[in-house]
Structure 1
Amino acid sequence: MDLWSLQGLLEAWPGRPEEREAWRTFARRAEAALRERAPGHWPGPALVPGLLQARLAAALGLAGLTRGDRLRTRVLTLGAHAGLEVRMLRDFGFEAVGLEQRPELAAAGRDTGLLPPDSLVTADYRAYLADPGPAWPLILALAPEAVDPAWIATARRRLAPEGQLVVVAYWADLPAAWHSRARPVVEGLMGGLRWEAAPDSPHSAERQGA
């Protein structure tokens, strides 16, 4: 899969015409809600469907998934903003839940009427990951403000035994020591990294049939 070119990424996970129209409608409604709930907030690429779609396609590609892998895989996405990426993942066939710590952004997503109420949760993802809870087959973080090795380690402990954590971030937000092993994606503007479940994960016993 071509993770570099914007065109290749959009072709890999294109969405049906009616889905792409729903994404544009979502973005317009969320932007309108944000003007009321968070005046002055600039949503950036989080509400630009094509750019967000490319980031998401890069993350799914790093996880080794293709359009044929629509098996209702459960996905947790961190820092989901107004939830457009959650809507995209659900349209792609995943059981997606987004975490967003800023309540006004999550509320704007709910205001669109285009997300199931329980698919966007207001929570600090670092605190959420630190609490014991169910294992996730796939955890995604698209353009996090900072990639902290501490929360990466915590997130790996919330993965299912064969699960994956995938981060697609701007180079400036990745620790410099990780640049050499990050894969350039989205025209080289961002770097992508993938991790497996932590060896000491409380869910690792599931792999052994416990």
Structure 2
Amino acid sequence: MLRIVLAEDAVLLRAGLVELLSRVGHEVIAAVGDAEELVRAVDANRPDVVITDVRMPPGFRDEGLRAALELRARHPNLPVLVLSQYVATAYATQLLGGASSADGGLGYLLKDRVGEVSEFLDALDRVAGGQMVIDPEVIRVLLRQRSAGTPLQRLTPREREVLALMAEGLNNQSIARRLTITEASVVKHSSNVFMKLDLDPSEGNRRVLAVLAHLRGEDPAQG
């Protein structure tokens, strides 16, 4: 069971998430509608994980994201799962840009992913467990933005699929299951990706951070 603080200004979605999370055995210890309430609820309750929308009252810009960053600074290793209505790669890179392999779990998902209940709950569990989870659509947009004139052009279509799933934080076994291929094939494709992109093949969050650094156009060795 996870103790969760939820921040979502849309009343119906907030109520639906509370119902869903409670039904699978989690405890929503606070469900709030703006960023200031989110900060107060986390400070008062010290939850296992925070779920927050990006855009919150009063400005409906990035108040939820800024609250998440503030909370991460005040409560090191606090797992945070951020939900966004649209693909906004700037939000994703801002949230994940300062992360390291020692940080607590972080996630950035589109709200549409909530409708895929099993995927959403799996992402929540992985974030609470210290992993990084990035919505595959965000990764696809980053890949398109970065592909022209970069080593990404050298990747085969299958290698690009594997890269996107690696950036979601999936291990080789999960990637094999998602793509309906053997784990040995995943290892082969992963090795090709790391070789072509000159990435550190370390497991876990370091692998995700290396992929993100490359997609942002940074030197993974310096990220």
- Normalized per residue, the structure richer in strand is 1
Give the TM-score taking structure 1 as reference length: 0.33
Between structure 1 and structure 2, the one with the greater Rg is 2
Give the TM-score taking structure 2 as reference length: 0.31
- Normalized per residue, the structure richer in helix is 2
